[in-house]
């Protein structure tokens, strides 16, 4: 996905793409994976995975199965499985997550609640 590293949890096919030159406000709901490279403001809910690209600026509450954040997210995130905050990523908000990976250089400002197995 980013650089030479490929995450096994993120599918190769993305159903919803918000491009770098696109700005969206509102609620986004999906059962498929999505990638955001532009600007988004509102609420995002997916039963699949979300990728926030390096150029993305997201101001939203986010609920997803897995997430990779390389851009900027301001808002609370509820990730049922795994969140990977890459070195270029910035997250300002509270987080509920199954497992968390924070790359060196990434910024995380907020509270983190780790889920117990089976929660």
Give the pLDDT band (50/70/90) at residue 11: low
Residue 119 has a pLDDT of 57
Q: Are 97 and 84 in contact (CB under 8 A)?
A: no
Confidence (pTM): 0.86
The pLDDT of residue 115 is: 84
Q: What are phi and psi of 33, to 5 degrees?
A: -75, 155
Separation of alpha carbons 110 and 10, rounded Å: 25
pLDDT digit string, tens, across residues 35-89 = 999 999 999 999 999 999 999 999 999 999 999 999 999 999 999 999 999 999 9
**Taking all residues of the chain, what is their mean pLDDT, rounded to a whole number?**
89
Burial bucket for residue 21 (CB in 10 Å: 0-12, 13-18, 19+): exposed
The rounded distance, in Å, linking the Cα atoms of 70 and 102 is: 11
């Amino acid at each position: 996905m980013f650089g030479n590293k490929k995450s096994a949890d993120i599918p190769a096919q993305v159903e919803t793409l918000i491009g770098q030159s696109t700005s969206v406000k509102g609620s986004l709901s999906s059962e498929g994976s999505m990638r955001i490279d532009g600007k988004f403001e509102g609420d995002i809910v997916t039963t699949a995975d979300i990728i926030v690209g390096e150029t993305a600026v997201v101001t939203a509450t986010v609920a997803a199965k897995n997430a990779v954040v390389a851009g900027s997210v301001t808002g609370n995130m509820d990730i049922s499985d795994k969140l990977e905050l890459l070195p270029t990523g910035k997250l300002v908000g509270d987080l509920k997550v199954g497992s968390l990976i924070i790359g060196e250089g990434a910024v995380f400002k907020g509270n983190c609640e780790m889920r117990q197995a089976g929660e």
